[in-house]
Amino acid sequence: MTIATVEFMSDALWRQVTYSAILPDAQVVGSGPYPVLLQLHGGNQNHTSWLHFSRLAYYCQDLPLIVILPDGAQTRWANGGTPFTRYEDFLIDELSAHVRQTFHATPGKWAIGGNSMGGFGAIRLGLKYPQRFYSVWSNSGGFPSANNLPEHWYWAGSANDLDCYELVNRIDPQTTPRLSFDCGTDDHLLDDNRRFHAFLEERQIPHTYQEHPGGHNWDYWDTYVQDALKQHIDEYIRLQSGGSSV
């Protein structure tokens, strides 16, 4: 296993950007190509947080998986509505292309996950771009609607663009990635997760929702990111063997 730090010029953000990558050991897992997991950080964190505050690299050491850890500042992983804040364009277009040019990645869909703000970003992007992702997992994400977004975040962009409920209304259940999310029973976002789970059930969108003891912290995320990794690998193997995408 190798951990790399990569920089390149982003046209969407008009500056040099940095991301970390956890790369598999070909002598352990084979020569590849490898599926890719885009793992997003939470608010007040950066591209090194999953490396410094969790054992993600340890959990990945025997997995045939490239894990990409981008830096999203406080952006909600969306286009911010002001110049040089097109983080969604950066993730979906530029970073995807750069990873494929730089590393031995498989063509096709990626997995996506994250914690807190990154969990929200994973769900939102997975629902908005189902053609780009095969597996989605949120640890402790928050899911405001456009109506209550100001209660959660200051946001200069379109509130409707961050509304995961509206994305659910627009998505075809037959094209939805494998969708899972969890939350701690002592987490301040627990009600958000329960409401979103109920809404998905009402709309008959296939998904898995779990609650576990714990709060909004790295002890919780370090524990349950392991479930997310298992899903991403299992789903990739299932699809490679000819399974349906839902």
pLDDT band at 5 (very low <50, low <70, confident <90, very high): very high
Does residue 5 belong to any structural domain of this protein?
Answer: no
Give the pairing of strands 66-69 and 2-10: unpaired
Q: How far is CA 74 from the centre of its chain?
A: 15
DSSP 195: H
Tell me the mean pLDDT in the region 205-220: 98
Q: What's the confidence (pLDDT) of residue 96?
A: 96
Does residue 103 belong to any structural domain of this protein?
Answer: yes
**Which two structure tokens, joined as six digits, stand for 215?**
């709060």
Does residue 28 belong to any structural domain of this protein?
Answer: yes
CB 162 within 8 A of CB 155: yes
**Which two structure tokens, joined as six digits, stand for 30?**
């084979």
Q: What's the confidence (pLDDT) of residue 75?
A: 82
Instruction: Please say if the pLDDT value at position 82 is more than 80.
Output: no
Contacts of 197 (CB under 8 A, 6+ apart): 181, 207, 209
Contacts of 171 (CB under 8 A, 6+ apart): 127, 130, 205
The count of C-alpha atoms lying within 13 angstroms of the C-alpha of 104, restricted to the half-sphere facing its C-beta, is 11
| Total domains in the fold of the chain | 1
Sign (positive or negative) of CA dihedral 173, 142, 67, 221: negative
Instruction: Please say if the pLDDT value at position 157 is more than 70.
Output: no
Q: What's the confidence (pLDDT) of residue 83?
A: 79
Does residue 206 belong to any structural domain of this protein?
Answer: no
Does residue 120 belong to any structural domain of this protein?
Answer: no
Q: What's the confidence (pLDDT) of residue 154?
A: 62
Q: What's the confidence (pLDDT) of residue 210?
A: 98
Give the pairing of strands 66-69 and 208-212: unpaired
pLDDT band at 146 (very low <50, low <70, confident <90, very high): confident
Instruction: Please say if the pLDDT value at position 23 is more than 80.
Output: yes
Tell me the mean pLDDT in the region 120-145: 95
Q: What's the confidence (pLDDT) of residue 152?
A: 60
Q: What's the confidence (pLDDT) of residue 246?
A: 45
Output the domain CATH number for residue 47: 3.40.50.1820
Does residue 53 belong to any structural domain of this protein?
Answer: yes
Instruction: Please say if the pLDDT value at position 57 is more than 60.
Output: yes
Does residue 152 belong to any structural domain of this protein?
Answer: yes
Between 8 and 154, the more confident residue is 8
CA distance 37 to 231: 11
CA distance 183 to 187: 7
Instruction: Please say if the pLDDT value at position 53 is more than 80.
Output: yes
Q: What's the confidence (pLDDT) of residue 172?
A: 93
Instruction: Please say if the pLDDT value at position 55 is more than 70.
Output: yes
C-alpha dist (Å) from residue 6 to 69, 79, 88, 122: 10, 22, 19, 22
- The string of pLDDT tens digits covering residues 94-126 is 999 999 999 999 999 999 999 999 999 999 999
Q: Where are the beta strands (DSSP E) in the chain?
A: 2-10, 15-23, 36-40, 66-69, 110-115, 133-139, 178-184, 208-212
Provide the residue range defining the domain that includes 37: 16-107+128-179+211-240
Tell me the mean pLDDT in the region 148-163: 69
Between 203 and 81, the more confident residue is 203
Torsion, CA 232, CA 95, CA 21, CA 143, rounded to 10: -50
Report the share of the chain in percent with pLDDT over 90: 84
Does residue 50 belong to any structural domain of this protein?
Answer: yes
